């Protein structure tokens, strides 16, 4: 590894350009691979407004999808959405070197496996991002709040690559929680996401309070959360019994909130249905855990969405 770490961000949308900005700020060489926005970003870089200050930056190199790299990066940040039709293992192939550490900053559950299977010799760092950030125009990103990461190796542990990345991100000003059991952290986040996100899409983009306050709404959401917890437990990741009891008032305290999947739906973008819910139901089936509420929502959304 070089003295100055080299980073390549694949899928430099809102999330990718934000975390790329932080690593740039921490002194790394940071390049990006873009599908859209290539012209704008090549010329003017990313403009990022943020409560952390101005995070605008110019990548060291801007690649197009399909370009060949000059050299493999030390860290490859994969920040694309996890949706059908996007073969993530194929997407990173041209950029993966022998010593490249693959870093996933993506939502969902069981989203690491296909990459771990394809690149068994490369270190794999799995991150959950707690952040409100959105792309407002080509090359323009609005960071509204938060930004902390939970990080660990997949499927478990916390190696020197995690240590080094943690240091860089902290240097740039964000909080990183180090986890020896990142899969458990994904399950924990999934308890909220699997309950609220797909249901909000079924409800045409409803906000959290509309959902909780409908007749029977809070009971349904508790049932959905409990089903996710039962699957997590069967999968070897028992979560604290009072998680549901904490999630509900915590959600109410946020006020009426439209989650990212609701926003994707309302903006005609594809939704991460399998990453957030389909994989939970698949794991439930492996362990023969009954998840009738989750299953109903999953299938209803599949009936709506032509699968690709």
Phi-psi domain of 207 (left: phi exceeds 0; alpha: psi -120 through 50; beta: other) = beta
Q: With the C-alpha atoms ordered 293, 299, 302, 304, is the resulting torsion angle positive or negative?
A: negative
Cβ neighbours, 10 Å, residue 174: 18
Q: Is the four-CA dihedral 250, 251, 255, 258 of positive or negative sign?
A: positive
Cis peptide before 155 (omega within 30 of 0): yes
**Both tokens of residue 185?**
């952290």
Q: Which stretch binds its own copies (CB under 8 A): 114-122, 128-136, 243-251, 287-295?
A: 287-295
Among 79, 211, 231, 283, the residue binding its own copies under the rule CB under 8 A is: 211
Sign of the dihedral through C-alpha 14, 20, 23, 27: negative
User: CA torsion, points 296, 298, 300, 302, in degrees to nearest 10?
Assistant: -150
Interface with its own copies (CB under 8 A), residue from 40, 223, 226, 270 = 223
| 42 lies in the binding site for its own copies (CB under 8 A) | no
Q: Is 120 in the site for its own copies (CB under 8 A)?
A: no
Of 86-94, 120-128, 206-214, 259-267, the window that binds its own copies (rule: CB under 8 A) is 206-214
Quick one: 215 or 241, whose CB is closer to its own copies?
Answer: 215
**Quick check: 210 binds its own copies (CB under 8 A)?**
yes
Binding mask 166-205 for its own copies (x = CB under 8 A): ---------------------------------x--xxx-
Of 217, 226, 237, 252, the residue at the interface with its own copies (CB under 8 A) is 217
List residues near its own copies by CB under 8 A: 199, 202-204, 206, 210-211, 214-217, 219-220, 223, 292-293, 295-300, 302-304, 307
């Amino acid at each position: 590894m070089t003295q100055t770490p080299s980073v390549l961000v694949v899928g430099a949308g809102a999330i990718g350009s934000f975390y790329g900005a932080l690593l740039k700020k921490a002194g790394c060489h940071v390049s990006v691979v873009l599908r859209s926005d290539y012209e704008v970003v090549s010329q003017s870089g990313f403009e990022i407004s943020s409560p952390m200050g101005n995070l605008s930056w110019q990548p060291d190199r801007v690649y197009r999808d399909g370009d060949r790299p000059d050299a493999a990066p030390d860290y490859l940040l994969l920040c694309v959405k996890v949706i059908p039709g996007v073969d993530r293992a194929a997407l990173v192939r041209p950029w993966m070197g022998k010593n490249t550490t693959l870093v996933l900053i993506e939502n969902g559950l069981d989203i690491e496996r296909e990459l771990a299977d394809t690149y068994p010799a490369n270190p794999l760092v799995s991150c959950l991002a707690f952040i409100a950030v959105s792309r407002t125009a080509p090359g323009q990103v609005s960071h509204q709040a938060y930004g902390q990461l939970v990080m660990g190796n997949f499927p478990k542990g916390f190696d020197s690559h995690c240590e080094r990345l943690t240091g860089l991100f902290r240097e740039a000003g964000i909080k990183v929680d180090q986890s020896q059991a990142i899969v458990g952290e994904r399950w924990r986040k999934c308890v909220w996401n699997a309950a609220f996100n797909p249901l909000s899409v079924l409800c045409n983009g409803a906000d959290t309070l509309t959902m909780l306050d409908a007749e029977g709404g809070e009971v349904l959401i508790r049932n959905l959360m409990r089903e996710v917890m039962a699957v997590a437990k069967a999968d070897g990741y028992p979560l604290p019994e009072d998680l549901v009891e904490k999630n509900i008032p915590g959600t109410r305290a946020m006020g009426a909130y439209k989650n990212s999947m609701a926003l994707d739906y309302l903006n005609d973008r594809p939704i991460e249905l399998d990453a957030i819910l389909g994989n939970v139901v698949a794991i439930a089936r492996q362990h023969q855990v009954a998840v009738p509420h989750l299953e109903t929502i999953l299938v209803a959304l599949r009936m709506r969405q032509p699968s690709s």
